[in-house]
Structure 1
Amino acid sequence: MSVCKSILVFLSVVLTISLVQCTEFVPVFMWSTSKTNEKVPALHKISQDSFKDDVLEHLKENPFVIVFAEQTLSPEDFAQHDQSGATVFPYLEKHKRNSKVSYLPYVQNPIKALKHLGEEVAEVSISDLKENFDFPATNILIVNLNDAKDDEHRLEMLKRHDSTIISIYNKIAKKYDNVLALYTAHHTSWVAPEDVISSRKIRSLLATTENGTYYKSNYSILYYTDVSYNLNNGASNTEVSLDFTDALQNTDIVLTGTSSVLQVEMEFSTNTSDGYWVLKNVTVTYNNTDYNLNSSLSDIYAPTTFSYHCGDQSFSTENNNFKLYFGSFQVQLFFDGTSANETKFSDAYDCVGFTSVPIWSGIFVSAILLLIMTLGITMMMDIRTMDRFDDAKGKTITINAE
C-alpha cells in the first residue's frame, strides 16, 4: 500500500512540474479596424480558456484575424527605450492613440488558445510573407517574426518588427473590411520572480544567449553587448567595436579598449580598505583629443566580491559634447589575480537602485497608516469607564450650574 502511495505522489509531482513548465504567460496587444472589446479583465493573469472566450466574442463579427508572433516577448519589453529615449514600439504606440486597443500583460499560452478555436489556422514566416505578399485563404493567419539577425540588438529587432507589423496591417486593412490584429509571442523573454525561488540569476561567461563581447584576464571580467559614441550632441550615434586589454599600474587596474577611431581607458582603484572597488575615471582619446568622462547615471562601484551591472551604461563630459554608450555593461575586478579561474560573474550591484519611486511610495503610505493606527489605539486605551452611577433608591446626583 505504501508503494502505491509513493508512486501516486511521484506521478502527481511529475504532472505538476510538467504543467508548470508548459504554462507561459506572455503579453497580448490586440486592436481592430472596427472596435475591440472595451471590457478590461479584472484578473492580473488571464487563463488560456478565458482568453479563448474573449477571442470567440470577437469572432462573432467574422473578422480576418492576423497574429504577429514573436519568439519571445514580455511586458518589460514594452517599457524599453533606446539610447535617445524613444520607445521601441513607436508605431504601435501611435496606433494606440487612434484606435481602441486591448493590452493584456499576462495571457496563458495565447498561440495555443488561438489554434484551439475550431477555426482554420495558417502559419507563415515573415520572410516568406515578404517574398510573396499573398495572404492564404484562412480565417486566422499567424505570422512568425523569426527573422532575427546575428549582429542585431534586440531593441533594434523589436523596433524593426514594429514597423513591419504596421505596414502589413495597413495592407490587410485595405483588403478586408473587418480585421482583428494581435501582437504576442510563443514564449516569455523574462523569467518571473516566482519561477526562480531557489536560484539566483548569475550571468555565466559560457552560457549566454546575447550577442555580446566578453573580455577576461587575470585581473578583470568584462561583458558588453554594444558600444557607440556621440560627438558634439550629434543626431545619431556611431557604433564601434572595442578590443580590451588590462594591466596593473601602480595601485590601479586599467582597462583599455581600442578601435580604429578611438581609445577608451577605465581606471579602477584597488584601494579596497573600505571593502569596495571604484571606477575612478574614464578617458577617451578621439582625434588626438582627450575627453574625461563621468557616469551619467551614478558612481560605478561594488564590493570586492561583487560585480557591477547596468542595462544601458553611458558616460559623458561635463558639457555633454562627447558621450559614450555601453549596452548591457557588466564588469568585475579581481585584485588577487584569480580571474582566470572564474567562469561566472558574482552577484551584481545594479545601476538601478533597490528603493525605487514605487517602493518609497509604499513605505510613505504604510508609515501614514501605521501612524493613524498607533494614534487610534492610543486614544482607545485612554478611554476610562465611569466609576459613579445614580442609585435608583437613593438621592439623585445634583449638579449645580452657575
Structure 2
Amino acid sequence: MTEEVGSRSVSALKMALISLLFIFILLSPCTAQVPLVVWTSEGYSLPALAEPSAGEIVAGGKLVSYLKSTLTTSPHNVVLFLQDKLSIDDFTVYGGVFGNKQDSVFVNLESALETSAHLVLPALAWSAAESVEELFHKEFGIPALHTEPAGLAQLQLSSSQPSLLVISLPYTTGTQSKELLRKNDETIGDVLTLLKSRGIPYTAVYTGLRPSHVTKDTPISNTGGFSGRSLLQVPTETAETAPVIFNSTTSGPCILFWADHLNVAYEDKPSFDLAPLTFNKTVTLDGSMCNETVSRLVLNYNNVLGYKSFQLVFAMRKIFFPVSGRNWMVMEHVQLNFDGETALFNSTRGINTPAEYSFHCQRVSNTESPLLVPSSATDKATQWTLLFTEFQIQSFTVTENFAYASDCASFFTPGIWMGLLTTLLMVFILTYGLHMIMQLRTMDRFDDPKGPVISVPQNE
C-alpha cells in the first residue's frame, strides 16, 4: 500500500513538472518563435542549466551554449526530429496540459519527458531553429544523415561512435493538423522504441523549422487607421480600400491622400460624405499636378449635393525655412469648385510638415479649432462647412506608402497643462510651508520661577 501511494506521488510530481514546463511555453510570446525540447534516454542526465526566463527569446548564441552543455553528459547519438512547422499552440491545444491526458496527441513525447532528463526552451527564434542541424554537425564533425523511420532499422549504429540522425516530420494546417501531429508522435515513439530495443543511448531533439501559429501584430495600415489586438470579440472586417495616389509622368507617385470621412455641407443642408466616392477608385484626378516645388491634388465628382460638377482641390507648396534648415510641405489652401463657382479656404496655421514626412490630423475643419478659414468675409466659403476626419496627406517625397506622420496635435494638451499647473501649485504650497517653518525662532529669555521675576519698566 505504501509503495502504491509513493508511486502515485512520484507520478503526480512528474505530471506537475511537465504541466509547469508547458505552461511556461504557453506564457511565452509566440510571434516567429518555435519551441525546442531536448531529452535523453533512461539512465542519462543533463547538466544543471539555467532555464530561460519567462518571455525570453533564445537566439543562436545562447542555443549553442545550451547544446554544448547538454552534450557534455548526454549520449552523442543524436536524433533530431525536425517538423516543418511547430508552435506552442500545438502543445497547448492538442497536448494533455489542460485537458484529459488521454486525449493528448503527444502521448509518446510526454511519456519520454516523464521518464528522462529533459530541457525545454519555450521560445526559440525560428532562425536559430534552422541552424540546429548545422550546430550538431560542427560539434560532432560528422555529416547529418537524413533518414526515414522505416530505414532506421537498417543502419548500423554504435553506442561508442557519435551519430547525427535527422528525421523530417510533416505538418499541415486546418482540421487535419491534429491527426498529423498524432502520427508524428507515433513516429517519435517508434524511433525511440527501436533505439531502446537495440540498447543504443540517445539524445533526442524535437523542434520546428517555422512557427505554425503566429500572433499577428497588425501595423498601422495605409488607411491611417489603427488596427490592434482585440479580446473576446469577433474580428472586424476592414474594407479593402487604399489611399488616393497621384502618379507623375516623370517621377512616379508624388501625392498620397487618405481620410476616413470627407464631410461637406452647404448652409443648413445635411452634410455629404465624399470618402466613399473618393477611395473606391471611381474618382478622377484630372487637373492634378506636381513638380519639385508645387503640388496640386484635384478630386473630381459628379452629381454631389445637386451640382453636376464638383471638385475638391488641395494645393501644397515646398518651402525652405532657414530657421529649421530644411524643406517643409505647406498646404496653402483647400478649394471647392461647384458648377463654375469657387469656395476658397486658406490654411493659416498647422497644416505643414517636413517635406520627408506626411501630415496627419484627426480632425480638419473650418469650424472646430479651425485649420481652414475662408479667404474673405464675402467668399462663398463662409456658406460651406468642411470636416475631414483622420486626414493624412503627403507630397514631394513619396513612395508607395505613407512616411512617418507629423501630427497636428500639440504637445501641451489641456490635460498636460492641468497637470503642470496643479504641480506648480503644490510646489508653491510646499515651498511656502518650508519657508514658514524655517522662520520659526525660539524665545531669547524665559521666566525662572526660582529667580527674580522679570520686570518690565514702564514709563509713567
TM-score, normalised via structure 1 length: 0.44
Greater radius of gyration (CA): 2
